[in-house]
Structure 1
Amino acid sequence: MQLLRCSLINFTTISLFVDDISQFDYRKLTVKNGEVTILTDDYTTYANEIILKLKSMVDIKFHCIISYDDLSKSVSYHSFCSSKEFHDKYYTEEKLGVDYHKEGSTFRLWAPASTSVNVLIYESGDFTLPEKPRKYPMSDTNGLWEARVKGNLKGYFYTYEVKVYNEVNEVVDPYAVACGVNGLRGAIVDLKETNPTGFRTYKAPEINNYTDAIIYEANVRDLSIHPDSGIKHKGKYLGLAEEGTESSKGVSTGLAHILELGVTHVQLMPVFDYSYLSVDERHPYKYNWGYDPQNYNIPEGTYSTDPYNPTCRIYELKKAITQLHKNGLAVIMDVVYNHIYKYEDSNLEKIFPGYYFRAYEDGSLSNGSGCGNDIASERSMVRRFIIDSLLYWATEYDFDGFRFDLMGIHDVDTMTEICEKLKSTGKNLMLYGEGWHLNTNLREDQKANIYNSFKLKEAGFFNDLIRDTIKGSVFNIHDKGFVGDGEGKADTIKFCAVGCSLDWFNKPAAFYSPSQSINYCSCHDNYTLWDKLKLSSPYVSEEELKAMNKLADGIVLTSMGVPFLHAGSEFCRTKEGVENSYNSTDTINRMDWHRKSKYLDVFEYYKGLIRLRKEHRAFRLYDRAQISDHIEFLPGGRSSVAFMIKDHANNDTWKDIIVIYNGAAHVNTILIPSGQWHVVVNKHKAGTEVIETIEGGNVSVEATSIMVLYR
């Protein structure tokens, strides 16, 4: 007889599977929990499963081994860690991390599997310097370890020495809010001293609905690192905070460029502390996007002017946020709670092996993230950690929303609770993410992906349908998409134009409301929009590529939903054909401000479309009823789409608006209602000013262009 697998069901019950239960002899079986032998009280069998009832409780601080003759099997605690029994005993609402006061600090760490924990206090945050730390033992109450250290510890650094399953690890506190260089020691700081002047004074204007936002995804380093950015603090938080900068060619750069463009929200690519193995804060010459978390509640040090100073990175990130808020911009944080850089080396795994990461019953890790591990968001203390972290960033740093990397890894219940808890901040925070269908070990109905969007009505989802329909599939460089005269895509563009929120064009609604549809055709992932268009249409002229570029984001900016722009698409950003530039050089990733000068006409076109959307509420319908009542599709030509937003939709000052997308490489003639129509967008110009006035009837729409008219 072979022992196949065993799992702890509750503190006194073990499930054991064998290959041939007919050979099972109860008398040969022993259960050992650490050095203690636990007697069995009773057992029942079902098929090849044996349910063992124990006379005493299993202590999860020690491995539990089942022996039978000369066979042995370790009892898995995996399922038990998600049980009500586990939650009832070990869950805590106590404040975790360091509670700093001048007269003394309290340290709390949640580590139920540990047999001893000590606080180690260092004078230096530099892990390369030899130093013997002061050691303070912590006491345990149902897995919550606590110690109070007297005296003013501000300016000191700390770690925890954790003994778990006979291994001793030195770890950084998951709840640390400051750190030394490279994030390898937590720092004890007074956060009240890290606020720049005006930090609590300036607030971003709040939006009534997600559809009022125009999101601009940017990287702190990319925005300013170009030699001719005119920005002093290149690649730094402070570079993002500099006002009025311009290149030698006289075009605005950095923050000034963003303000000139006119977007409402800046989404910053990861600014939390990511792995020092990706970029060494001491010598930050390497490049990395930062989607490999190390310390979730601490800003990344490479973007600060002094990564050795634990308050510097905090102050400077807050300074950047202050400047953005002062200039009327909301700031969204890109968060990566779905995976860790390398799970076996992570502080979370070293503190409580097997708890923070989703696995199968055989112990193998779930890998829907494609990064070797998935965070087990469904577990109560993991869920609490994520929520605590989000609330911390929202309140301490005053972020205005969160973009979730690989949101489909998380469970619906966690995302629902996040939406509810974020309301406690009193701010109308945006929350959206990548709702891809991922092969993670959760029930299909529990995955926070786009197929379960109706269960998460307050969250937005990146709409890959509009992305791939506009420019062609990201998985096929030859697919031209609608803007490349792609055949058979008009009906899908129509469906996307109403935010994929109505059962139209033989497609079931993907979203409860257009507010859930994050409309985009490019982001940091995959090829830039310009590069994808060049690859899919290699023989067209540069002028034709520019027209395709303008039409692509023109559709994004005039469709119902939430428009999202990749920084630099407004001046035909290229990464020289590099598809995944996560660790490419600055020359590949940087915002090339000379390119803005070259494609200034494209920039002006984007600026006009953004002004049009901001000034006219008809483009920002936020529920199904508005769309059903106010949008009417008109007959279109081949590879074209035309629709009318009618009757002062959303209380717009314009009575009726017609939007026409012509993805064909030829002129299309569209029949529009009679009357006088004022053209505000054509192939060459966009905005709110009247370009020309025409009479209804047949209207000619130039090849590869968008047209907007009103009456």
Structure 2
Amino acid sequence: MKLKHLVVMSMMTVAAGCTSSHQDAQTTFDKYPVYDGEWEEMVYAPSVTKFSLWAPTAQEVRVLLYEKGQGGSAYRMVKMEPASDGMWQARVDEDLKGKFYTFNVKIDDVWQGDTPGLLAKAVGVNGDRAAIIDWGATNPKGWNEDKRPLLKRFSDIIIYELHHRDFSIDTVAGIHNRGKFLALTEEGTKTYLGEKTGLDHLKELGVTHVQLLPSFDFSSVDETKLDKPQYNWGYDPKNYNVPEGSYATDPYKPDVRIREFKQMVMALHRAGIRVVMDVVYNHTAIIKGSNFERTVPGYFYRTDDEGKWANASGCGNETASERPMMRRFMIESVCYWAREYHIDGFRFDLMGIHDIETMNEIRRALDRIDPTIYIYGEGWAANRPQLPDSLLAMKKNAPQLPHIGMFCDEMRDALRGPWNDESKGAFVIGRMGHAAGVKFGLVGGTAHPQLSVKHAAASVQSTTLADSLTEDSLATVKAERELHFWATQPDQLISYVSCHDDLCLADRLKTTLPGLSEQEMNALAKLAATAVFTSQGIPFWYAGDEILRDKQGVVNSYKSPDAVNAIDWRRKTSHHDFFDYVRGLIAMRKAHPSFCMGDASLIAKHLEFLPTPASNVVAFRIKGSPAGDSWLNTVVVLNARTEPVQVNVPEGRYWIACRDGRVDNVLGLGTLTGNVLTVAPRTAMIVHQ
């Protein structure tokens, strides 16, 4: 993750509750009581509403009641009484349905300021006041019968990352609720040229999971000014347990955003698509004035050795997942989304900031709800976190995080080039020395007998072309020597070539090869897509890349206007060939378990890398028919060179499923007999027996 939101706090001295010493502050926080009862801040019934707030350092706490979600003064103040383990409680014996409330905490004789609480689940416009609503009225018709689409195993997952506004704001899409949750409920939407858009596009593409960029209540969009264009990715959390109001048709009515979010989930489920939320527990939009800091100052954030706010997120702060009540907050939050909103998975932003124990506790808690709920995240941080590396949910600690996936930047960078140099390409543009990273992703990041220093050196010595002992071969040996097989099982590795961060696929190709023609870009993009969808890891695709979306070369478009970020649905017609190719790869993967064996021992046994006659070529064979696949001895060749190559394969008759930029895994593209595959320049070839 890069710097994603508008507010980047300057470092500050630690507020009340911390000392100038990092160690002393931690010792102080360790003494805070841990509440283990049912954690609900507001429980409504027509006869009584009960309020609770965990504020262990407070002298006084009060609840203020309002008629509206914004503006006006409180019409009543209710004093809260201390209870056990830092909890404060109050009750109001009347029907408060439709009212709004805030908490205010007094510490060291200073009132900290109003907040909707830590766990607000319904709020008014802009999320400044929590709302008292009838939860039964938020369920759309059929919600109680909503079921998660069938998922037999994590290795069957195919993820599609989208931003609500990007996906549906273009008027060409024919979507009525543009930029809203409800956009993903509309069926039958098409462009004026008849191309399917929206929900029907997702069904046509064939993905299994949609990953929604932050959809909780975030700070950067003013919900009172939605008549004016506003844009943000939403990585600036405000209220973690409430849907974002700018994606609702009426942000002033607390029940509307809740009901419409559920309608969206239900529509996707009915389409056979699971829903993943992008969650950002690693930092908040601000510190001073945040719900955390106004309730229990200092507790929810880490500090450095000088007592200043730590900044592993690159956004001004980092949360302290290792502290018991922050850990519980995260667990309660994801479980709430899974139960109340039927969410099927969670993508953790900068997961490497969180500690291993917290992530494993989240995994166990979700397993008790439904073990098919998938968890994955970024196994890194923007800056160095305040915990030792050995305690963090980083890639290198993946063996301690079973059934938690992580993005494979090794494969991403090997395919398209490094994240910190947009002008530098890699394998798909023919740059030498990146085959090892591609192979790493193809085996799902699991240990493979052919990916070793010994094997790399042998492959250099055995090759026949003169250029094999050049920079490319030496780079390959070095890369394979440095490979760290961090995944214990392939469901821990997310294979991808682009995402919302950095350039989209088309822009990256244009940047690394200036003057690239549309035909050349199409070919290179197909090569990258083939690697992603034949990887034994879990494939991940950025929305719009299947029609080669264009973001005008903007690298970090977190607040760029629709003119940059919106998917131009006319491109589905002009780039339909590429869309068909990606759709074909997805259909092939779903139909043939050889591409998603789901077990490291099976991959080591069945996936064999074949000798190639030149650099910038990767070839592998899946021996036999793993998991009873109807295809036998499947061979995949990725040729990034500008001339044809010939790859030796075992003698036999082969059916062609992919060749010359076309995919057809049902009828096929013909047959060939012999022991040599001739693969055209900058294309992939897939054959089977």
Superposed counterparts of 1:249-260, under 5 Å: 249-260=193-204
The yes-or-no answer on 1:79 pairing with 2:52 is no
Please name the residue that 1:200 is paired with. 144
Please name the residue that 1:137 is paired with. 79
Please name the residue that 2:135 is paired with. 191
**CA-CA distance at 1:561 after TM superposition:** 0.5
1:180 maps to a residue whose letter is G
**CA-CA distance at 1:282 after TM superposition:** 3.5
Distance between the aligned counterparts of 2:416 and 2:353, measured in 1?
27
Distance between the aligned counterparts of 1:63 and 1:410, measured in 2?
22
Please name the residue that 1:650 is paired with. 627
Please name the residue that 2:497 is paired with. 521
1:157 to 100, 106, 111: 100
CA contact (8 A) 1:79 1:361 kept: no
1:553 to 518, 529, 536: 529
Distance between the aligned counterparts of 1:695 and 1:562, measured in 2?
33
Unaligned runs of 5+ in 1: 1-60, 66-72
**CA-CA distance at 1:281 after TM superposition:** 4.1
**CA-CA distance at 1:145 after TM superposition:** 0.4
CA contact (8 A) 1:279 1:288 kept: no
Please name the residue that 1:660 is paired with. 637
The yes-or-no answer on 1:470 pairing with 2:415 is yes
**CA-CA distance at 1:386 after TM superposition:** 0.5
Superposed counterparts of 1:607-622, under 5 Å: 607-622=583-598
CA contact (8 A) 2:124 2:253 kept: yes
* Distance 1:456-1:76 versus aligned 2 partners, 3 A rule: closer
1:325 to 251, 254, 269: 269
Please name the residue that 1:248 is paired with. 192
2:492 maps to a residue whose letter is Q
CA contact (8 A) 1:223 1:240 kept: no
1:511 to 480, 484, 487: 487
**CA-CA distance at 1:491 after TM superposition:** 2.5
Please name the residue that 2:603 is paired with. 627
Distance between the aligned counterparts of 2:264 and 2:216, measured in 1?
14
CA contact (8 A) 2:237 2:285 kept: yes
Q: Deviations over 1:573-626 (max 9, x none)?
A: 110010011000011111110111110000001010000001111111111111
CA contact (8 A) 1:63 1:75 kept: no
SS at match of 1:302: helix
2:561 to 568, 576, 585: 585
Runs of 4+ in 1 over 4 A off after TM superposition: 61-65, 73-77
Please name the residue that 1:52 is paired with. none
SS at match of 2:664: coil
Moved more, 390-399 or 504-513: 504-513
Distance between the aligned counterparts of 2:515 and 2:615, measured in 1?
22
**CA-CA distance at 1:628 after TM superposition:** 1.3
Superposed counterparts of 1:693-708, under 5 Å: 693-708=671-686
SS at match of 2:497: coil
The yes-or-no answer on 1:146 pairing with 2:89 is yes
Distance between the aligned counterparts of 2:624 and 2:288, measured in 1?
60
Q: Deviations over 1:21-66 (max 9, x none)?
A: xxxxxxxxxxxxxxxxxxxxxxxxxxxxxxxxxxxxxxxx98799x
CA contact (8 A) 1:91 1:380 kept: no
2:577 maps to a residue whose letter is D
CA contact (8 A) 1:281 1:301 kept: no
1:447 maps to a residue whose letter is L
2:296 maps to a residue whose letter is F
* Distance 1:537-1:63 versus aligned 2 partners, 3 A rule: closer
2:101 maps to a residue whose letter is Y
The structure with the largest helix share of the pair is 2
1:482 maps to a residue whose letter is F
SS at match of 1:228: helix
* Distance 1:74-1:526 versus aligned 2 partners, 3 A rule: closer
Superposed counterparts of 1:222-621, under 5 Å: 222-275=166-219, 277-283=220-226, 285-437=229-381, 438-503=383-448, 504-506=451-453, 507-621=483-597
Distance between the aligned counterparts of 1:202 and 1:64, measured in 2?
46
Moved more, 488-497 or 238-247: 488-497
CA contact (8 A) 1:495 1:505 kept: no
1:170 to 95, 109, 114: 114
SS at match of 2:656: strand
1:546 maps to a residue whose letter is N
Q: Aligned Cα RMSD in Å? A: 1.7
CA contact (8 A) 2:282 2:319 kept: yes
Distance between the aligned counterparts of 1:281 and 1:669, measured in 2?
62
Distance between the aligned counterparts of 2:618 and 2:133, measured in 1?
57
CA contact (8 A) 1:369 1:406 kept: yes
SS at match of 1:136: strand
Over alpha carbons, which structure has the higher Rg? 1
Distance between the aligned counterparts of 2:494 and 2:308, measured in 1?
34
**Higher RCO, 1 or 2 (CA under 8 Å, sep at least 6)?**
2
1:452 maps to a residue whose letter is N
Please name the residue that 2:656 is paired with. 679
* Distance 1:191-1:77 versus aligned 2 partners, 3 A rule: farther
CA contact (8 A) 1:164 1:351 kept: no
Moved more, 594-603 or 679-688: 679-688
2:398 maps to a residue whose letter is S
1:377 maps to a residue whose letter is S
2:88 maps to a residue whose letter is W
SS at match of 1:99: strand
Distance between the aligned counterparts of 2:436 and 2:39, measured in 1?
53
CA contact (8 A) 2:352 2:394 kept: yes
CA contact (8 A) 1:62 1:113 kept: no
SS at match of 1:386: helix
SS at match of 2:171: coil
Distance between the aligned counterparts of 1:546 and 1:264, measured in 2?
25
Q: Deviations over 1:71-107 (max 9, x none)?
A: xx89986212442x43xx3433332311111211111
* Distance 1:62-1:467 versus aligned 2 partners, 3 A rule: closer
Distance between the aligned counterparts of 2:109 and 2:54, measured in 1?
18
The yes-or-no answer on 1:216 pairing with 2:166 is no
**CA-CA distance at 1:559 after TM superposition:** 1.0
Please name the residue that 1:710 is paired with. 688
Same amino acid, percent of matched pairs = 41
SS at match of 1:666: coil
1:579 maps to a residue whose letter is V
Distance between the aligned counterparts of 1:202 and 1:653, measured in 2?
34
Number of aligned residue pairs: give it.
Answer: 638
2:107 maps to a residue whose letter is V
Please name the residue that 1:7 is paired with. none
Distance between the aligned counterparts of 2:82 and 2:16, measured in 1?
15
Distance between the aligned counterparts of 1:113 and 1:704, measured in 2?
64
**CA-CA distance at 1:420 after TM superposition:** 0.5
1:248 maps to a residue whose letter is Y
CA contact (8 A) 2:22 2:305 kept: no
Please name the residue that 1:19 is paired with. none
